[in-house]
Amino acid sequence: MATNRTYDQIVVGDHAEIIRTCSSNDLLVFAHASGNLNPLHLPDTDWTGDGKIDKPVAPSMWVGALVSAVLGNILPGPGTTYRAQSIEFHTRVAVGDTLTVRVEVLEKKPDGQVELSVSVVKKDGTKVADGVAVVDAPRETIEYATSDLPGLLVERHRHFNSLIQMAKSQPALPTAVVAPDDPNSLQGTILAAREGLIEPVLIGAAGRIQKAAEELGTDIAGCDLIDIENESEAAARAVKMVHDGRVQAVMKGHLHTDDLLRHVVKRDGGLRTKRRISHVFVMDIPGRDTPVLITDAAINISPDLTTKVDITQNAIDAALALGLETPKVGILSAIETVNPAIPSSLDGAILSKMAERNQIKGGIVDGPLAMDNAIDVQAARTKGITSLVAGHAQVLVVPNLEAGNMLAKELTFIAHAEAAGLVVGAKAPVMLTSRADDGRARLASCAFALLYNHWLEHGEPVGLLSSLKDGA
């Protein structure tokens, strides 16, 4: 419990302070609450117009609002109302700056008024602002519980923005795009090409592709176009172009997944390796510290233990390619204990032990874990689970395709996540997006493919995800 300071209790010289670090989410919430949409104050914008993302500057009144937090929460505390505020700003605040906001009582005036000095300084002592506040102090004691506010969801996909920026630092990936003959698939292709992520070779019915371009109002004259009416033949040509060295990746357009994968997985002339191929969703979930990878939700329907070994290793490789250091892998089941009646719980325990024995490399693997204790620290603690993975899983290996597909779509449509998809474990990355995916999802999948291809060729990521966080 906390208590305010009444007018009678306050004496000249009383002081209080808070410490606050500015984050990108602070700027977004303030923009929504105030209606101030000045691009100077918004993250992930090019407000200078030079084609690069600029670092935002915190609105001065966001700094001023921190003064209100000290007055309303501590001194005098609840029951306080403003009379006047004068404040002068000396420098600007950026994301990552840590501020100390301090108030001190200067004078007690008649009719319950209190005058306080205000100062805001950065961690290094740089003066940000100072001034004077006049408030009506509370007359009665108020005791209150200092409980947290309900959670606030900020729909922002900073991980994908960072990964796209990281991918753009690399040469464009020559990519065979199979049947991009509808506006959605063609838009994603053109967008990725304009962003410098891929060099597309369009393979499919030229008439339908041209019609889709006209609907989008875009010109594809500069793109290589191979006119093949039959979608299966177009997929076969794309796979052959990988073997010929003309392209380094394959991207699914407006055709059924089976029609493309049939040629990817065939024994003669396909893209198979000694490892079983699998699909990985990368989910950018608002509020999570890192992207979350989900596998397999698109290819292996009911994988046995041997297949899950490859699925797990493929997902670790994909996480490493994205810049996650020693990714934490949770093997999901309905429970977090081994039960012989639940095969996925047995698989989780075995895969965990195999990782301990270095049969699965590059990540920390634990299982079985239920969904709650895989991603939520408090849930793991409540159930007494001691693990480096529990509560912190960055990769989720699901029991079967149905579970993975439902989990990925629930996160997309309920948790407002963005998803990128890639087939891994083949000789080349295959962008296996949904026919209903928009251009943004396809752009993120192209970035994923480029980063994964770089990892396949060089054995190291383009960069580390830890360097992309707010304030870095």
Is the predicted pLDDT of residue 471 greater than 50, yes or no? no
Q: Which domains does the chain have, with CATH numbers?
A: 2-144 (3.10.129.10), 158-327+394-468 (3.40.718.10)
Among 34-43, 204-213, 234-243, 426-435, whose mean pLDDT is lowest?
426-435
- Three-state secondary-structure class, residue 30: helix
Q: Would you mind telling me the total number of residues written for the chain in this entry?
A: 472
Burial pattern 119-129, b for ≥16 Cβ within 10 A else e, equals bbbeeeeeebb
Is the predicted pLDDT of residue 432 greater than 90, yes or no? no
What region, left, alpha or beta, does residue 60 occupy, with left being phi > 0 and alpha being psi -120 to 50 degrees? Answer: alpha
Return the sign of the alpha-carbon dihedral for residues 113, 114, 119, 123.
Answer: negative
Residue 273 to residue 267: CA distance in whole angstroms? 9
**pLDDT value, residue 178:** 96
| Number of other CB atoms surrounding residue 164 within 10 Å | 22
Is the predicted pLDDT of residue 466 greater than 60, yes or no? no
Q: How confident is the model at residue 469 (pLDDT cuts 50, 70, 90)?
A: very low
Among 222-226, 237-241, 302-306, 450-454, whose mean pLDDT is lowest?
222-226
Q: How confident is the model at residue 49 (pLDDT cuts 50, 70, 90)?
A: confident
What region, left, alpha or beta, does residue 96 occupy, with left being phi > 0 and alpha being psi -120 to 50 degrees? Answer: left
Residue 151 to residue 344: CA distance in whole angstroms? 33
Q: What is the mean pLDDT of residues 429-439?
A: 76
Nearest residue to 292 (alpha-carbon basis) of 303, 301, 300, 281: 281
Name the more confident of 82 and 467.
82
DSSP β-bridge partners for residue 424: 278
Q: How confident is the model at residue 374 (pLDDT cuts 50, 70, 90)?
A: very high
**pLDDT value, residue 438:** 66
| Number of other CB atoms surrounding residue 376 within 10 Å | 15
Is the predicted pLDDT of residue 201 greater than 50, yes or no? yes
Q: How confident is the model at residue 59 (pLDDT cuts 50, 70, 90)?
A: very high
Q: What is the mean pLDDT of residues 454-458?
A: 93
**pLDDT value, residue 155:** 64
Beta pairing class for 143-144 and 2-3:
antiparallel
Among 171-175, 225-229, 319-323, 442-446, whose mean pLDDT is lowest?
442-446
**pLDDT value, residue 435:** 59
pTM over 0.85, yes/no: no
Is the predicted pLDDT of residue 78 greater than 50, yes or no? yes
Express each pLDDT in 115-127 by its tens digit.
999 999 999 999 9
Express each pLDDT in 86-113 by its tens digit.
999 999 999 999 999 999 999 999 899 9
Report the alpha-carbon angle 118-123-129, nearest 5: 30
Per-chain mean pLDDT for the chain: 91
The percentage of residues in the chain with a pLDDT greater than 90, rounded to a whole number, is 74
Q: How confident is the model at residue 161 (pLDDT cuts 50, 70, 90)?
A: confident
